[in-house]
Structure 1
Amino acid sequence: MRAPSTRLPVLPRLALALALAAAAAPGPSRAEPRDAALVTVFVDNAKVIRLPEKTATVVVGNPLIADVTLQKNGVLVLTGKSFGTTNLIAMDGTGTMLAESMVRVEAPQASVVTVQRGAEERNSYSCTPNCQPAMQLGDSTKYFSDVSGQADARRKLASGQGSEQPTR
């Protein structure tokens, strides 16, 4: 009597071999250049970064993820726009790369409570100290639209742009 075969089909074996090789490989993954520093910023938050001397140009790999504003004296303000990872490159006037950083934009977790109702309805609340609606990327479309509409109406009222009172 023969023992049952424990061999995996070819594709699962290949996937397993690739996963093990990636896990055993030394150093950072190919997605992050070996010499690049990692800068982490939260969505809708800013971080101040000092640029290398003689920086003339700053390039953001994906401006949908992060945005930059150049200030005086080699200071850069980095703002998280959306979740993800991108890169930031500083170049001198001749186009020589002076520095490269990986930028990871994450969700602030400390005070955000996420309520999941079923498979498709997700609402986020900021609970500092009391829970209030705080739309986040990934919330249900209706909730996101309602909360952002209220915030926009409030901003317009505060700046004197809107004289209409919101309806209840």
Structure 2
Amino acid sequence: MSVSSLRIAVRAYFLSWSLAIAILLIPASAFAAPVPTGGPIAVNMDQSKLIRLPERAATIVIGNPLVADITLQAGGIIIVTGKSYGATNFVAMDRNGEVLLDRIILVESAADPVVTVYRGIERESYSCMPICQPRITLGDSERFFKSTLDQAGSLSGAAAGAAASKPQ
């Protein structure tokens, strides 16, 4: 084996080990979307988006928690969840109270196919993927909204009760 081929083999060996170590050391926060430097952050209603903040972020203040919710996770990751249509802002601060970021959050309608049915002045919304089912949507008539919400709550409660009574 010549000196140059030995040198190439040693370089390849160290390069492969360096690459393997680098892959193992990448934190999960590397996969979150970075916070845009300008403009609003768009999120769909009833959906979440992962955003990476500066590492020093320790406190998050949300302008209107009825529009969006934010949860701060380890490693500077936040989970932004759209709760109702509209716009609000959030401010990220470090432990000393220094403002690191101040951004607008726009909560928009989800992209799933929705059919809206009007019965006089009463409005009902249905999510059609592929079969149309009642959907809890802001702006629906009070009777339909409450009925759909009650059914969803009953189903959720029954599922939670079944899971709690399941033997371990």
Counterpart pick for 1:37 among 17, 34, 39:
39
Residues 30-55 of structure 1 show CA distances to partners (whole Å, capped at 9, x for unaligned) of xxxxx743111111111101011211
CA distance in 2, matches of 1:53, 1:127: 41
Q: Is the 8 A contact 1:90 1:98 kept in 2?
A: yes
Mapping for residues 71-150 of structure 1, pairs under 5 Å: 71-118=73-120, 120-150=121-151
Q: Secondary structure in 1 aligned to 2:65?
A: coil
The TM-score, its normalising length taken from structure 2, stands at 0.70
**Bigger mean CA deviation after superposition, 121-130 or 105-114:** 105-114
CA distance in 2, matches of 1:152, 1:94: 42
- State the Cα distance separating 1:109 from its structure 2 match: 3.7
The TM-score, its normalising length taken from structure 1, stands at 0.70
> Which of 1 and 2 has greater Rg?
2
**Structure 1 gaps, min length 5:** 1-34, 162-168
- State the Cα distance separating 1:100 from its structure 2 match: 1.4
CA distance in 2, matches of 1:93, 1:159: 38
Normalized per residue, the structure richer in helix is 2
Counting matched residue pairs gives: 126
CA distance in 2, matches of 1:133, 1:89: 36
**Structure 2 gaps, min length 5:** 1-36, 163-168
CA distance in 2, matches of 1:56, 1:159: 33
Residues 3-59 of structure 1 show CA distances to partners (whole Å, capped at 9, x for unaligned) of xxxxxxxxxxxxxxxxxxxxxxxxxxxxxxxx7431111111111010112112111
Q: Is the 8 A contact 1:42 1:105 kept in 2?
A: yes
CA distance in 2, matches of 1:57, 1:158: 35
